Amino acid sequence: MKILLTGGNGFLGSYILQILKENNEIHTLSRTNAFYNCNLKYEIPELVNNYDLIIHSAGKVHSIPLNDIEKSDFYDTNVKGTMNFLDGLTNTYIPKQFIFISSVSVYGLNVGVNINESFPLLANDPYGKSKIEAEGIIKKWCVEHNVVFTILRLPLVIGVNPPGNLGSMIRGINKGYYFNIAGGYAKKSMVLASDIAKFILKVAEVGGIYNLTDGIHPTFNELSKSISLNFDKSFVPNMPLFLANVLAKIGDILGNAFPINSNKLSKITSTLTFDDSKARIAFGWKPTPVLESFKLYEDA
């Protein structure tokens, strides 16, 4: 297939690029070091090729905005950037298939069990709202242009050298300052980046909206133990909930420079899992359990 991938320099995008380039012609679009160098937040890309499949993975990833400028950046990057990208496609050639990399953040939940794709989209934070709006824009455009569209709603994505909170967790365990809280028994949905990449061509032909997880939903305690073994550490310390609550209150006052606040504590201690049975039934989705194959680094 002839494929155009946005965000190929990103964490998940790099996995998609590496796996799909083996048997397909794939071009990338990113701000730098790509076939098309383009900042979608400000520019409509000038494309010079026709593509069978579009994979839109570029975007501003989930984080807590510190000010109004950072809040608006979610809209500018994830919504306006998507509109600019679609305008570029409209001006060049309409593809057959379109895949959008979205997030389970669209559901707007901090706690829940086996949330499926029919659950209402309730996010009210800048990141979740921007993903909801981008999903709607893409669906409308694809329907208008008779394009088969797929939306993949992803939980925590696992892979080598991960960014964000998982990367911070790994560094904390390695340096000895990470603590499980209240035993770390809250369960979270996760999925391997490599499994997502391998699934893309199969789902692209049919389309639809799908949650993807490993189906196991490890606890923080299980994940931290798996990580610690990579550093030859057999023990991950635990922090009692009452002490974590005290520190979270301090973090509420000091702001994001402090490692924990009440919002983060609530997420860490609350189970939140998603149902991927729709993908399993439709495509035989059989992901690898995260804890069985999670590698921290390329040479692990």
Looking at residue 199, its pLDDT comes to 97
CB 284 within 8 A of CB 215: no
Residue whose C-alpha is closest to residue 211's, from 240, 191, 227, 225: 191
CB 74 within 8 A of CB 130: yes
Looking at residue 235, its pLDDT comes to 84
| Model-wide pTM > 0.85 | yes
Looking at residue 231, its pLDDT comes to 86
Which amino acid makes up residue 245? Answer: N
Looking at residue 63, its pLDDT comes to 65
Euclidean distance between CA atoms 153 and 212, whole angstroms? 7
Measured from the Cβ of residue 293, the count of other Cβ atoms closer than 10 Å reads 12
pLDDT tens readout for residues 69-114: 778 888 999 999 999 999 999 999 999 999 999 999 999 999 999 9
CB 155 within 8 A of CB 256: no
pLDDT beyond 70 at 300: no
pLDDT tens readout for residues 194-247: 999 999 999 999 999 999 999 999 999 999 999 998 888 878 899 999 999 999
HSE (CB half, 13 Å, CA atoms) of 158? 26
Looking at residue 297, its pLDDT comes to 62
Looking at residue 67, its pLDDT comes to 65
CATH 3.40.50.720 fits 2-158+190-214+275-287, yes or no: yes
Rounded to an integer, the average pLDDT of 270-294 is: 95
pLDDT beyond 80 at 190: yes
pLDDT tens readout for residues 142-183: 999 999 999 999 999 999 988 888 888 898 899 988 899 999
Domain boundaries, the chain: 2-158+190-214+275-287
Percent of the chain scored above 70 by pLDDT?
A: 96
CB 178 within 8 A of CB 238: no
Percent of the chain scored above 90 by pLDDT?
A: 77
Looking at residue 65, its pLDDT comes to 56
pLDDT beyond 80 at 294: no
CA angle in degrees (0–180, nearest 5) for 262-185-12: 80
